[in-house]
Amino acid sequence: MNTPQSMVTRNYTKPAILTLVLYCLLWLPGCIVNIIYLQKAQATKRMTGVQPGGYGCLLTLFIVCGALPLVFSILFALLALINPSAAGFH
């Protein structure tokens, strides 16, 4: 069991690097691992009151590599349904 003292020293920079590598290999596993590590980092932050190292990296990865591609993919799919020629389909 993690004690508050060991959670203060927990650093999520290496998990963030692992997440980046997974995003480069396959998007879905990278997104799943990112969400898991981000939830753990948020739990550490809630328990200790201190933002752990690597938290910002995980959050940035989630926004840039996880959420934005998903939003753009959905918007492109909607555009393709509404007006196929505008999406590049002739």
Q: What is the pLDDT of residues 32-78, one digit of tens each?
A: 999 999 999 999 999 999 999 999 999 999 999 999 999 999 999 99
pLDDT at 7: 53
**Rounded Cα–Cα distance for residues 31 and 46 (Å):** 22
pLDDT at 83: 85
Overall domain count for the chain:
1
Domain with 10 in it: 4-82
- pLDDT higher than 90, residue 18: yes
| CA dihedral of residues 29, 31, 34, 39 (deg, nearest 10) | -110
* Residues 34, 23 contacting (CB under 8 angstroms): yes
What does residue 53 show for φ and ψ, rounded to 5 degrees? -65, 140
pLDDT at 21: 96
Residue at 21 is within a domain: yes
In this structure, what token pair is assigned to residue 45?
Answer: 């932050």
Helix (H) / strand (E) element for 35: namely helix 27-48
Residue at 62 is within a domain: yes
